Amino acid sequence: MPDLTHGDDAAAVNSLRSAVMRLSRRLKHQRVDESLSPTEMSVLGTLSNCGSATPGELARKEHVQPPSMTRIVALLEAKGLVRLEPHPEDRRQKVVTRTEQAETMLEESRRKRNAFLARLVDGLDEDEWAKLREAAPVLEKLAHL
């Protein structure tokens, strides 16, 4: 296990944190719908990946409190981006699913953000691009820990 508090390892962790935060901020500005918050976009992205979920499941996946997720889901429903349906096994619960409108908007957002990243990557040399390709699965793993 590397020593993440001193020396080169600590500097690498600091550099990684800083780069991820800056890149994340730049990607957040590549939105197709300015009326949606980054949290709302994240919830729609989660639903796109998992298909459907209860508000409680979404709260856990998004690392927010259940009452906050209830408010987010209500906002998304009012905007026509999600539907609440009865849970198939527990009628006391609801299941949140995205609408076609949400999927269309998410696809447009992905295209815009991918194009932005492609422009950045285009400025890398082949060795840098190869290193970034190799690092992508590790970054993905970190994002889901």
Q: Residue-wise pLDDT tens for the chain (145 aa)? A: 566 677 788 888 889 999 999 998 888 888 777 788 888 999 999 999 888 999 999 999 999 999 999 999 999 999 999 999 998 888 888 999 999 999 999 999 999 999 999 999 999 999 999 999 999 999 999 887 7
In a domain, 18, yes or no: no
In a domain, 51, yes or no: yes
In a domain, 137, yes or no: yes
Report pTM. Answer: 0.73
In a domain, 138, yes or no: yes
Residue in the block written with tokens 């990243």 = 117
Distance CA 30, CA 24 (A): 10
Question: Looking at this protein, which amino acid is placed at residue 46?
Answer: T
In total, how many domains does the chain have?
1
Q: Is 80 left (phi over 0), alpha (psi -120 to 50) or beta?
A: left
In a domain, 114, yes or no: yes
Answer yes or no: are the C-beta atoms of 43 and 73 closer than 8 Å. Answer: yes
In a domain, 1, yes or no: no
DSSP, res 57: H
Domain CATH code at residue 115? 1.10.10.10
Beta-strand runs (E) in 11-132: 52-53, 82-86, 94-98
In a domain, 17, yes or no: no
